[in-house]
Amino acid sequence: MTSRARAGQEPQDPVGAAADAERIFALEEENRQLKEAITSHAVVDQAIGMVVGLARVTPDEAWQVLVEVSQHTNIKLRCLAETLVNWGGTGVLPPEVTAVLEDALDRHGPTRVPAPSGEGAS
Angle between helices 59-73 and 14-55 (to 10 degrees): 110
Question: Number of structural domains, the chain?
Answer: 1
Rounded CA separation 43/80 (Å): 10
Q: Is 102 inside any structural domain?
A: yes
Q: Is the pLDDT of residue 3 over 70?
A: no
Mean pLDDT of all residues in 63-83: 96
Which is higher by pLDDT, 77 or 110? 77
Whole-structure pTM value: 0.63
Q: Is residue 1 part of a domain?
A: no
Inform me whether the pLDDT recorded for 94 exceeds 90: yes
In a domain, 63, yes or no: yes
Average pLDDT along the chain: 82
Banded model confidence at residue 33, pLDDT cuts 50, 70, 90: confident
| pLDDT for 35 | 74
Report whether pLDDT(104) > 50.
yes
Residues of the domain holding 84 = 17-108
Instruction: Write down the pLDDT at residue 114.
Output: 47
State how far the Cα of 92 lies from the Cα of 97, in Å rounded to an integer: 11
Kindly state whether residue 7 falls inside one of the protein's structural domains.
no
Angle, helices 14-55 vs 77-90, to 10°: value is 50
Residue 8 lies in a domain: no
**Has residue 9 been placed in a domain?**
no
Q: Name, in order, each residue with C-beta under 8 angstroms of 26's C-beta and a sequence gap of 6 or more.
A: none
